Structure 1
Amino acid sequence: MRYIWQHIEALLQYDGRLPLTHYLKNYFRQYPKLGSRDRKLLSAMVYSYYRCRKALVMPDANLEEVIRVALFLCNNPEKHTAAFLPSFPEAILSAPVEEKMQFLKERGIELNIPAIFPQQLPLSEGIKNEAWLLSMWHQPQLFIRIRKEKSAVVKKLTAENIAFSFVNDHCVALHNGTSVDKILPADWYVVQDASSQQTGSFFQPKKKENWYDCCSGAGGKSLLLKDLEPSVTITVSDVRDSILHNLRLRFNQYGYSAPKSYTLDVSDASQLKLQLGSQQFDNIIADVPCSGSGTWARTPEQLYFFDPEFVTEISKRQTTILHNIADKVKPGGKIFYITCSVFKAENENVVAAAIKDTSLEIESMQIINGLTNQADSMFIAVLKRIV
């Protein structure tokens, strides 16, 4: 299987500028002779490398040895990786990661966990640093939110021998990579991370309220809001017209009229005033651009190539967004400030800066720790306008 190692050496020339999933697709397109099994194996090797390479203290090891140990730490034994795992006892191959670490230590392979993220940015309350770093070694689960036909969803998944578990009444966890689109009708469910779904428990919409989703993306939070209370009116905006097009398609798919939408950057006060004028809303969802550090277990290349200057810049933008939208919510209304970051600089610190010179006060704020569910981690602050 020498050609596999040749491809790995080529693949690890990756520089982090393109999302790893796109980089791999582009690479495999150049080598159509690579079969499905080869692509899965190479992907597992590359992802495992970027998940834990910085922690592996193996100064005398060659690349093959490093990759084998990375696969051992990051993957439970699967058919496409089994032949490339180290020749360790079978029982340890599927053991918890802590046992694997101890097993390696007894064989002279040290692990320097803090080296995974040497920048050491302070984390929000509720996230332990080592637990967060070790979570990078495993791909999170796939989660769906059941919109309707719950019993039929269970029946179909069971009939297809799909392993699943309920996180709560409407949130289902499945193995990442499960092709739910081939099993369930599209309008029965939404693919949405468990922590993202949990943000909806803070919304508590009332009938016929007027809401604004100011950084809507493809509309996951807006759809969640609409499912919670179909009578609400939603206005959405995003800097990307293409993503708003996707949002409109999704609303139509789930039987809702497309919301009023604006292509604008809410960090630009002049754009906001030009587009929305003096409009005010009962409540605002501000799921702002962020580092995405709470989702890095899905995209470990972002951790590997992380530049801490990005957090400095993005936190300034987040603070500006909160300032700009503070008077777009009616007195007594709330802004739901949300990030998928675990860094205080983007969470508590932004909230503290924003409330200093606005009419907002903190009603509550917390990290939504997804580590125990193999989900993403998110932060939410509920900010109430008092004037």
Structure 2
Amino acid sequence: MRLHRNLCFAVIDGLHKIFNEGDYADKVVQSLLKRDKRWGSRDRGFIAETVYEIVRYKRLYAEIADVKAPFDRDNLWRMFAVWATLKGIKLPDWKYFEGTPTRKIKGRFDELSKNRRFSASIPDWLDELGVEELGEEIWTKEIAKQNEQADVILRTNTLKTTKADLQKKLLDEDIHTEYIDGYPSALKLPERANVFQTEAFKLGFFEVQDANSQRVAEYLNVSPGMKVVDACAGAGGKTLHLAALMENKGQVIAMDIYESKLKKLKIRARRNGVHNVELKVIDSTKPIKKLHGKADRLLIDAPCSGLGVLRRNPDAKWKLQPEFIENIKKTQSEILSQYSKMVKPGGQMVYATCSILPSENQNQIDNFLTSPEGKDFTFVKDKKILAHKSGFDGFYMALLKRNN
């Protein structure tokens, strides 16, 4: 591979924004890809994948390059040189790469790879937490998997098409997909492509959604005609899936504390041909109280650490702090206590997170069931999904039933 100066400069600019200005990696990459209209898909792919790779292995590359945060541009070029050397890419004769100790880089890599905190490139506190909650063996496998690039997975919008027809439609647009056993609506891309530019996307035939994320709505056992509440809807990936499973019949009430996210959901719902969704901003306790005892089904896709989706958000491990995880656990507990009151007698509720930590998952359910608010609920089943076992994102989901 030959390095091109303008693409490398884009990578360095992106890393500066992520590491030094605290910008989110996905937003930075989106912005970088619009910088030059002459760039082809290979150029854009290089920028996106290189930025994400260096973000994933920030601690390892910084240690090998012998640089410390905050990283000035010379430091970033040194980290880039480490990345390129380890990839077997010949460094061009640019001033940024003068004196790069190629042999030393490979030796340091071999040495540091024996230490999980460097090989998986994670903060000390996070490594300690992972071992404490999951055990050494499982944590080692899981955090290694979380450093791999995530697959692009599509969820067929069954309100508009079938999986087989969607696959044909995408093939007509030169995008190859594969079925995934056990995931009825999912298609996987063997090679990355910009699916958002396709006619199929514009027509609302699919949404991009991880395979295990697609399990959550299915876990809720919805039927057409029900009154279903998605209490932490966000931009609505699971809301839209619920609407499709309900065949656009009945009512899905999508709630969130952020109105901006619900506005995005409104646009997505229109493209998806979904018309049984009602949006409600949680700006006080009133919207929740009005629904007490009225929901046939309730989905609580709770805010969490996101440790199950680090493949998609590699910068999250550098932004996360121990106090955030402690605070989010309190929030999860409060949400369970308050929002569960919306389930009517005989109704069902799913509590889900994209975390792999038991303290955010089954421990929360155990605590809820022994609380005054949880005494009316019965545990039905739960599912703990780890990325290294499933091949897709890490998730947890628990199904509870409210007693008659």
Deviation, 1:182, is 3.6
Deviation, 1:179, is 2.3
Q: Indicate the SS of the match to 1:187.
A: coil
Unaligned runs of 5+ in 1: 86-103
Change (3 A) 1:386 1:165: same
| 2:322 counterpart residue number | 308
| 1:110 counterpart residue number | 112
Alignment of 1:23 onto 2:28: yes
Q: Name the TM-score, length of structure 1 as normaliser.
A: 0.79
Is the contact between residue 11 and residue 46 of structure 1 (CA under 8 Å) also seen in structure 2? Answer: yes
Q: Could you tell me the percent identity over the aligned residues?
A: 23
Alignment of 1:178 onto 2:193: yes
Q: Indicate the SS of the match to 1:293.
A: coil
The correspondence of residues 3-152 of structure 1 with structure 2, limited to 5 A, is 11-13=14-16, 14-15=19-20, 17-24=22-29, 40-55=45-60, 59=64, 66-70=79-83, 83=90, 108-111=110-113, 112-115=115-118, 116-119=122-125, 120-122=128-130, 123=133, 128-146=138-156, 147=158, 148-152=161-165
Tell me the amino acid that sits aligned with residue 362 of structure 2.
E
Change (3 A) 1:118 1:155: same
Mean CA deviation greater in 293-302 or 35-44: 35-44
Q: Indicate the SS of the match to 1:248.
A: helix
Q: Indicate the SS of the match to 1:324.
A: helix
Q: How many pairs align?
A: 358
Q: Indicate the SS of the match to 1:300.
A: coil
**Inter-partner Cα distance in structure 1 for 2:90 and 2:124:** 33
| 1:355 counterpart residue number | 369
Is the contact between residue 220 and residue 348 of structure 2 (CA under 8 Å) also seen in structure 1? Answer: no
Q: Indicate the SS of the match to 2:399.
A: strand
Tell me the amino acid that sits aligned with residue 207 of structure 2.
V
**Inter-partner Cα distance in structure 2 for 1:373 and 1:176:** 19
Alignment of 1:346 onto 2:360: yes
Mean CA deviation greater in 302-311 or 245-254: 245-254
**Inter-partner Cα distance in structure 2 for 1:162 and 1:385:** 45
**Inter-partner Cα distance in structure 2 for 1:219 and 1:340:** 15
Superposed CA deviations along residues 320-351 of structure 1, whole A, max 9, x for unmatched, are 01100222111221110011111222112222
Q: Which has the higher contact order (CA 8 A, sep 6+)?
A: 1
Aligned pair partner of 1:257 in 256, 259, 275: 275
| 1:162 counterpart residue number | 175
Change (3 A) 1:21 1:224: closer
Unaligned runs of 5+ in 2: 68-74, 93-105
Q: Name the TM-score, length of structure 2 as normaliser.
A: 0.76
| 1:272 counterpart residue number | 288
| 2:382 counterpart residue number | 365
Superposed CA deviations along residues 11-70 of structure 1, whole A, max 9, x for unmatched, are 5442363212323455787x7699566665444333222212324595566755643554
Alignment of 1:298 onto 2:312: yes
Deviation, 1:378, is 1.1
Q: Indicate the SS of the match to 2:141.
A: helix
Deviation, 1:233, is 1.8
**Inter-partner Cα distance in structure 2 for 1:11 and 1:252:** 33
Q: Indicate the SS of the match to 1:294.
A: coil
Is the contact between residue 345 and residue 403 of structure 2 (CA under 8 Å) also seen in structure 1? Answer: yes
Tell me the amino acid that sits aligned with residue 118 of structure 1.
D
Change (3 A) 1:70 1:331: farther
**Inter-partner Cα distance in structure 2 for 1:341 and 1:133:** 12
Deviation, 1:312, is 0.6
Tell me the amino acid that sits aligned with residue 253 of structure 1.
R
**Inter-partner Cα distance in structure 2 for 1:354 and 1:84:** 56
**Inter-partner Cα distance in structure 2 for 1:17 and 1:2:** 25
